[in-house]
Chain A
Amino acid sequence: MRRVYFDHSATTPVDSEVLETMLPYLKQDFGNASSIHWFGRESRKAVETAREQLAALLGAEAKEVFFTSGGTESDNLAIKGVALANRKKGNHIITTAIEHHAVLHACEYLEKNGFEVTYLPVDENAMVSVEAVRNAITDKTTLISIMFANNEVGTIQPIKEIGALAREKGIYFHTDAVQAVGNCPIDVKELNIDLLSLSGHKIYGPKGIGALYVRKGVRLEAVQHGGAQERGIRPGTENVPAIVGLGKAAELAKRDLEKRSAHLTGLRNQLFEGLKNRIPDIKVNGHPELRLPGNVNFSVLYVEGESLLLNLDIKGIAASSGSACTSGSLDPSHVLLAMGLTHEVAHGSLRLSLGKDNTANDVAYCLEVLPEIVERLRAMSPLNAFSKPSENNPCNSCHHH
């Protein structure tokens, strides 16, 4: 059966060039990077090369890059690390309602420990207002954490402006750029970013490796304690093969950024146009222009997301949904709800995230398969164009429950 992978926001395949670079560090060059002997020195050299490769991708200095186990750890280290190190200055953090759970749950943890957090709302395109950030700042604010690009709907935030505002007020600015790195040009100096999280497996590198950029001079406390690795900020034996893989993935991302972005934007537009032309009653989610090149998110009215996903999977297409039924909770995606979508519309949402190896034929296949799936599910649905749920009563058929 034909297989099409449209879930690159969840994870990407490891690039073959990346894998080739990693292999020696799993076999002959297996030394502990902290060891003084030849084996250790070879590993250390490789780790430092990777640090330079990442720094080059971000416009940073190598010593400003700290390796972690992934995006979640980077977010936790940035948020808790800054909050704890700057507690004497203040206990207020500003973030948004649409962050990844790694940010939201880290903030909730701090709230339980005496910190105050403002969760800024977003508009219908999932965009955060710079004015709202300005208005939320108090004399106790020590950190603003706002994601670069949303993982579900792809909206890219006004990072440079928020960074400038934070700098003007003397507040640290962290951005979770897990989805943006490799997809958007990023220069941390130009964008006024103090801390930036990234993850290896979103840029065709391995899973279980990430990094945190920390601008020189930022006061950051370690949240994990152990040896002296990563200058004590993130102790633990370095995962050398994964670090080497991340470094190579960063090098390739820098080299191919423009090419990848143009390719993905072309496919994305082909997909959006095709969907709009072939499926009535769909709603595009996310910002119309300021969005990740490979992100396509839309709601199919009158059908449910998991049913769409399962049917797509049967046809060999891997995608993702903001439906509650795929998340294990009763609520659909917090991002879609924060954008003002009703529960019912949010339930019928689908995310197709494209990657560098997808082709126009993959998109054509999806456009061939999806309308028929939607038609079949709609024929089965008690909701239809003639019983449209109202905005005020999203579930007008079941208010007795």
Chain B
Amino acid sequence: MYTDKVMDHFTNPRNVGEIAGANGVGEVGNAKCGDIMRIYLDVEDGIIKDVKFKTFGCGAAIATSSMVTELVKGKTLDEALAISNQAVAEALGGLPPAKMHCSNLAADALHEAIKDYKSKAGK
């Protein structure tokens, strides 16, 4: 059901954890399906220096969280904002259709974290 890449990110998720003193935190959830994702950002001079995540969810939820952290590390905020859930799924070699809206919220969580950073920074 899942691609090898999804299983790789699920079994060896990258950037799991929290960032103490993160200057941007975003959380999204699909209340019905149950998945919850929280992304922590450390932004310096408009660049994402560090990113970590915590996720409650299925294989797709964990893999997409892991993938999005890989995709944005070192990117500018504008580059990060351009990443969509579709792009995260494509980077994983695709997801089963049912998982697209249910468990692929990673880019949304990232965007929430950037929004949080911007509001804290007064931008």
Q: Which residues of A does B touch, CB under 8 Å? A: 302-307, 310-311, 314, 323-326, 328, 330-332, 343-344, 347, 379-383, 394-395, 397-401
Q: Which residues of B does A touch, CB under 8 Å? A: 7, 10-11, 13, 16, 27-38, 54-62, 98-99, 102-103
Other A-B pairs beyond A324-B34, A343-B31, A383-B36, 16, CB < 8 Å: A304-B56, A305-B58, A323-B34, A325-B35, A325-B57, A328-B98, A343-B32, A347-B33, A380-B13, A380-B16, A380-B55, A382-B55, A383-B56, A395-B29, A395-B36, A397-B29
Distance in angstroms between the alpha carbons of A399 and B30 in the assembled complex? 9
Distance in angstroms between the alpha carbons of A310 and B60 in the assembled complex? 11
Contact of B27 among A323, A328, A394, A398 (CB under 8 A): A398
> Which residues in B have their C-beta under 8 angstroms from that of A395?
29, 31, 34, 36
Distance in angstroms between the alpha carbons of A347 and B62 in the assembled complex? 15
> Which residues in A have their C-beta under 8 angstroms from that of B61?
304, 325
> Which residues in A have their C-beta under 8 angstroms from that of B54?
380-382
Contact between B27 and A331, CB atoms less than 8 A apart:
no
Please count the residue pairs between chain A and chain B whose beta carbons lie under 8 angstroms apart in the complex.
92
> Which residues in B have their C-beta under 8 angstroms from that of A307?
10, 57-59, 62
- The closest CB in chain B to the CB of A346 belongs to B34
Q: Give the Cβ gap from B82 to chain A, nearest Cβ, in Å.
A: 22
Distance in angstroms between the alpha carbons of A395 and B57 in the assembled complex? 12
- The closest CB in chain A to the CB of B30 belongs to A401
Q: Give the Cβ gap from B26 to chain A, nearest Cβ, in Å.
A: 11
> Which residues in B have their C-beta under 8 angstroms from that of A324?
32-34, 102
Contact of A397 among B11, B27, B58 (CB under 8 A): B27
> Which residues in B have their C-beta under 8 angstroms from that of A379?
16
Contact between B57 and A398, CB atoms less than 8 A apart:
no
> Which residues in B have their C-beta under 8 angstroms from that of A344?
34
Contact between A325 and B56, CB atoms less than 8 A apart:
no
